Chain A
Amino acid sequence: MATLDPLPEQYQKQLQGKLLFTAKTDLLPNGHFGVQWIAITEEDIMVWHQEGPPTLRLKITQLKEARAVGAIGGGTLIVDTHEGPVVVGRYTAALTPVFNFAAKLLGALAKREELPVLSERDLPRNCPTCGNPLGEGTQICHLCAKKSTAALRMLRYAKPYRLQLVSAALLLILTTLVELVPPYLTKVIIDDVLQTKDMGPTLMLLIVGLGVTMLAMTAMQTVRGYIGMWVGSKLMRDIRKEIFGSLMRLSLAYFDRRQTSQFISRVNQDAEEMRQFMTDGVVFVCGHTLRIAAIFIIMCGLDWRLSLFALLPVPIIVAFSLTIWPRIGRLMYQQWRAIFRVNILVGESLQGIRVVKAFGREREEMTRYEEANADVMKKNIKTEGLWQIIHPLFSLIAGLGTLLIWYNGGSKVLHDEMQLGVLLALVAYLGMLFGPLQWVSQMINWVGNAMTAAHRVFEIMDTPSEVPDVDEPLPLGVVKGEVMFEDVTYGYEKHHPVLKGIHLQVKAGEMIGLVGHSGAGKSTFINLLCRFYDTDEGIIRIDGVPIRSISQSDLRKQIGVVLQETFLFDGTIADNIAYSKPDATPEEIMRAAKIANAHDFIVRLADGYDTRVGERGHKLSGGEKQRVAIARAIIHDPRILILDEATASVDTETERQIQEAIARLVQGRTTFAIAHRLSTLRNADRLVVLDRGKIVEVGTHEELLVQEDGLYRKLVDAQKELAQMKGAEG
């Protein structure tokens, strides 16, 4: 059993009867933050705010019922006594599960029913070590567990290509070393050949040497560039694959709360930025550090005192980078956000382009876009503008070192303390030294972009699925199709349950019709059965196995669904029908289409089964789309068939034909059908009537019809009335 906060001793002493439950609220009765203690014993409920006697004490015998009333950001535990409702305590949203349990417990006590047992899921999910909230469906605290930084994690992607990367690095070292040769040769040419005016074979030799080094450098750069490009492309593919994989793994609830168009840019842009860091960035950092070190050693060898001048600007550059760094991060995040908004806007407007046109809102959409667009421009100018300042500024600071060397070295040459060649070599090396230093700003840019991108990407990857597969899923095999809902409660938002205490047993092969008002929770019912979402309370079983312990791919193989919102992929009709069974033969595809009464209309199309349906199937009519979706649901011969308003958009005659075909198909298959047109459900073995998330009636059409004031009867009467009216009109 899960444990609760232990009641402080001073309160324990006041208890009478066996203690059943204790909890700590995080709000006071006046709605301010603060702690109250609640204890439930077999005899009464007690609430304390401070030491001393309880501020509230109620006998269990006074109770009729208890409820945890969810509100926004918090809730209230209310008990109904014979004298009227009483507030026991108030709490914030974090404690909702605890008080839901408390309400259940009190309700059971009041009605003398069997007491519920506290489970892990009733407790707030905080990390035991650091006290910060835990993510959904995990017991591992992100704060305590993960120590590796985004940079290290990013480098892990490079691991499979370490051989290539190491050779690139080796080449880089070689290039760097070779690069250092020409200034040295120049020095020799000036001091030993030009100054001595001793034209011999030396000059020719030196020039040949210069030429060879130049050639070698070009060759090595080409090879290295090629390796970088090759590794980069592969890395991009890996990262994109993983992001997309993570997206596919996430539950529907994740996408319910987000605009989906944002992910398009995430998959591409963020991956690109990460790649840039890993190939260019890492190579750059390593290469240039090495280069700086080597140059510095050579310079010191030439004249260490002058070389020290070169170092003067370095601390300035470093200090400057450090102060500017947080500001850049912030600007970059803002820029990203602005672009993100524009992307969402475009995605949304285009997806809804029909609605936009239907209401003639093109102009308004353009204004909305224009605003977001202008924002991007402003953020761009700000961020990029900063670069335009930083860049020349860095060059200027770095240039100061050169001035110092020219001045000091120049006077030394004039006083004959130094050879001209040495000075020229020093200046050349200094130029090479400050090249990379100026690039520090570019590096900051890259690293900054890559880190923000990496954080966003890892955020997706780290989000645990809200409907996780268990570690060792039970094998399911071919199921009979028995479905059992045991006291299932679910809310898309935890504090607002949409289905409450659903209890239903369905025999294998039974056809169940779900009816009820719009918003009653019918689609939610089947969403739970498909395990698009996990129940908040209660268990759903197929053939006695809880669906939580079945792997999702196994589960979906048993289920064929036609969803209320028909979605077709941009592809041919055949592709869409064969979506769940890509190896389906043409015969199978046609048979499925025939059952769905789609075969004839498809054949009449010029391109037949190879007709492209367009994005989301917009080239088909509403009813045609539905029939293709039905065919898609039945092609893989599921044991459980779910039809959510599957025939709502077809005329009654077509519907009758589809029904007949399905009737043949559903034999021996468990079927759940939702329909507002009640005649659709006349073949159902049992009808389940839902009202505001509760099952109010169950029975056959005839059984329910005789209940004079039943909801089903009302629905039927209303439709009859409507039908007569329509008849009279026609």
Chain B
Amino acid sequence: MADRYDIRLLKPDDVYLSRGEGGVLQGVVDGKPYDELIVHRTFPFRHPSAYISIRTTKDEELGIVRDIRELHSESAAELRKELQFRYFIPQVIRIDSIQRKSDLWLWKLQTDLGPTRLAMRNLHEHIQYPGGNRAILIDINGKRCEISDWRTLDSHSRRLLEEVL
């Protein structure tokens, strides 16, 4: 067994990921099959597609994938898909409206996963700026949406954003 006090980085040949019949992520890690695997982003903001922790359902870490792109293509695709499920953070494509009603801010958004609405109690606690031109919107119920780069939004959305931020 490898040094248990060190981080184990998985090589492409150490991990094979696939989707089980029931729609659950499964795979073979270090030659051992697992019928369900859990994935965690270790740096969800700074490195969303790198340093992915692969864990069993008992929350034991099997290893870390340094970069999804290093994996074999099928594994990489499944891993990307699973991350998208696990980190449900739709990307904002367009902001339809931002309204202030009494003490709630209501956002109507178009995202890559379809239209949605967010409700916030205020702006300064519900919006995070992890750096660059990104902004993460978190609504009262914990639903999140991400604006990956506000400069790339259309002018209507940008104007709305500028008005509030």
Contact = CB atoms under 8 A, between A and B. Distances in A.
Interface of A: 27, 29, 31-34, 71-74, 76, 78-79, 81, 83-87, 90, 92-94, 96, 124, 132-133, 135, 142-143, 146-147, 257-258, 326, 330, 337, 340, 455-456, 458-459, 462-463, 493-495, 692
Contact of A86 (B24, B85, B101, B114): B24
Task: Summarize A's interface: helix, strand, loop or mixed.
Answer: mixed
8 closest A-B pairs by beta carbon, nearest first, are: A86-B22, A33-B114, A74-B88, A87-B23, A73-B88, A93-B142, A71-B86, A94-B141
B42 interface: no
A92 B88 contact: yes
Contact of B24 (A31, A87, A142, A494): A87
Contacts of A85: 20, 22, 24, 35-36
A314 to B, nearest CB: 28
Interface of B: 20-24, 26, 35-36, 44, 59, 81, 84-90, 101-104, 106, 111, 113-116, 119, 121-122, 124-125, 139-144, 162-164
B21 A83 contact: yes
A146 B36 CA distance: 48
Given A81-B22, A85-B20, A85-B35, A73 B104 contact: no
A72 B143 contact: no
A530 to B, nearest CB: 25
Nearest to A327: B163
10 contacts: A31-B84, A71-B88, A73-B143, A73-B144, A83-B21, A84-B24, A92-B88, A93-B143, A258-B125, A462-B103
A493 B36 CA distance: 24
Contacts of B121: 135, 459, 463
A33 B115 contact: yes
B142 A31 contact: no
B163 A33 contact: no
Contacts of B122: 456, 459
A243 B21 CA distance: 56
A133 B44 contact: no
B113 A330 contact: no
Contact of B87 (A72, A142, A258): A72
Contact of B102 (A27, A146, A326): A146
B102 A143 contact: yes
A76 B81 CA distance: 14
Contacts of A79: 22
B119 A84 contact: no
Given A72-B88, A84-B24, A462-B103, A33 B125 contact: no
Contacts of A93: 88, 141-144
B84 to A, nearest CB: 5
Given A74-B143, A85-B36, A133-B141, 5 more contacts: A32-B114, A72-B89, A76-B85, A147-B102, A257-B125
A27 B24 contact: no
A86 to B, nearest CB: 3
A72 B82 CA distance: 12
A96 B23 CA distance: 19
A68 B121 CA distance: 27
Contacts of A146: 102-103
Nearest to A493: B142
A31 B103 contact: no
Contacts of B139: 133
A27 B121 CA distance: 24
A214 B112 CA distance: 71
Contacts of A330: 162-164
Nearest to A91: B88
Contacts of A133: 119, 139-141
Contact of B142 (A78, A81, A340, A494): A494
B119 A132 contact: yes
Given A78-B24, A132-B119, A73 B124 contact: no
A132 B116 CA distance: 12
A38 to B, nearest CB: 14
A493 B142 CA distance: 9
Given A31-B85, A84-B20, A90-B85, A142 B104 contact: yes
Contacts of A337: 124
Contacts of A72: 44, 86-89, 144
A718 B96 CA distance: 60
Contacts of A142: 102-104
A71 B85 contact: yes
Contacts of B22: 78-79, 81, 83-87
B142 A33 contact: no
A76 B82 CA distance: 11
B44 to A, nearest CB: 7
Nearest to A462: B103
A73 B84 CA distance: 11
Contacts of B88: 27, 31, 71-74, 90, 92-93
Contacts of B143: 73-74, 92-94
A325 B11 CA distance: 59
A507 B162 CA distance: 60
A458 B44 CA distance: 34
B141 A34 contact: no
Contact of A455 (B81, B85, B103, B106): B103
A29 B23 contact: yes
B20 A34 contact: no
A235 to B, nearest CB: 22
B89 A73 contact: yes
Interface centre among B35, B125, B142 (most CB of A within 10 A): B142
Nearest to A125: B141
Contacts of A92: 88, 141, 143
A96 B21 CA distance: 24
B113 A33 contact: yes
A502 B141 CA distance: 25
Contacts of A463: 121
A340 B86 CA distance: 34
B133 to A, nearest CB: 16
B127 to A, nearest CB: 11
Nearest to B120: A133
Nearest to A86: B22
B4 to A, nearest CB: 15
A85 B116 CA distance: 30
A86 B24 CA distance: 6
A594 to B, nearest CB: 45
A90 B103 CA distance: 30
Nearest to B145: A73
Contacts of B164: 330
Contacts of B86: 71-72
Contacts of A90: 85, 88
Contacts of A143: 101-102, 104
A135 B22 CA distance: 36
Contacts of B36: 84-85
B124 A132 contact: no
A459 B87 contact: no
A132 B106 contact: yes
Interface centre among A92, A124, A459 (most CB of B within 10 A): A92
A124 B142 CA distance: 12
B114 A34 contact: yes
A129 to B, nearest CB: 13
B103 A73 contact: no
